[in-house]
Amino acid sequence: MTLGLARAGARVIATAARESAELEQVAAEMHAECGEQRVVPLIADVRSAEDCERVVNAALAQWQRLDILVNNAGRGMKYASERFLVEPPRFWEVEPETWRMVIDTNVNGPFLMARAAVPHLLRAGRGRIVNISMNHDTMRRRGFSPYGPSKAALESETIIWAQDLEGTGVTVNALLPGGATATGMIPPGLPDAVRATLLEPEIIVAPLLWLVSADADGINGRRLLANRWEGADPALAIEDAGWTRS
């Protein structure tokens, strides 16, 4: 998503909680590709309100504006068990500190980032918040605590925030790949049959670019499934997130 946004002309603050090497590699790749600094790497933990404010302030200091927030920071099931896809852990087997870490990152992190960003988006009169979610079936899947509950909470945040921001020019939507995706959240050593079913991360770029564009001005409180995306007809990928307008 960082590369996709930057290639489309956006300037991106890309964050990670601990390790900077991958961020710096992405920033260097974009600089070499386009000849300017479109990606700024920043170590920041979304569990910290101070770090979230620092990320927003970095964007404003660098470019004097803020248009888009993508809440993609997340902790997955591998922290509960490296074999979660083949031997799902039961919820009582999850360590309390693991539960708290996942919930704090996946539920509180998006709140803290949105809380820091929204006042600036409101002043601009336009903005996008995109919360990265997952399939409803996975939220209810056996052995997927605490990751499933955390994303169910994120979808609730999406629906409520969309209503809170209705009519402001700032929209809130959920975007999901539509299946398990070959990212760092998937542990190594999976059976070949399981790995062959994984989606490629690039699947999410096209619907993201559409969602943050002016073409999606009327889209608010919805879910977009990247694996259903057909650029000629975005409606195929859009689901109601559960908010029925009165």
* Nearest of 122, 120, 135 to residue 60 by alpha carbon: 120
Helix (H, G, I), strand (E, B) or coil at 99: helix
| 74-121 pLDDT, tens digit each | 887 676 677 766 778 888 998 999 999 999 999 999 999 999 999 999
Does pLDDT of 8 surpass 70? yes
**What global pTM score does this model have?**
0.89
Q: Count CA atoms within 13 Å of residue 29 on its CB side.
A: 12
| 177-194 pLDDT, tens digit each | 976 665 666 666 666 666
| 29-80 pLDDT, tens digit each | 999 999 899 999 999 999 999 999 999 999 999 999 999 999 999 887 676 6
Q: Which pLDDT does position 179 carry in this prediction?
A: 62
| Distance in angstroms (rounded) separating the CA atoms of residues 70 and 225 | 16
How far the first Cα of the chain sits from its last, in Å, is: 34
- Domain range summary for the chain, segments of one domain joined by +: 1-43, 45-240
For residue 232, the Cα-to-chain-centroid distance in whole angstroms is: 24
What's the CATH architecture for 45-240? 3-Layer(aba) Sandwich (3.40)
Q: In what order do the strands lie in the sheet with 170-176?
A: 68-71, 127-132, 170-176, 222-225, 238-240
Say if residues 208 and 125 touch (Cβ distance below 8 Å): no
| Distance in angstroms (rounded) separating the CA atoms of residues 140 and 84 | 15
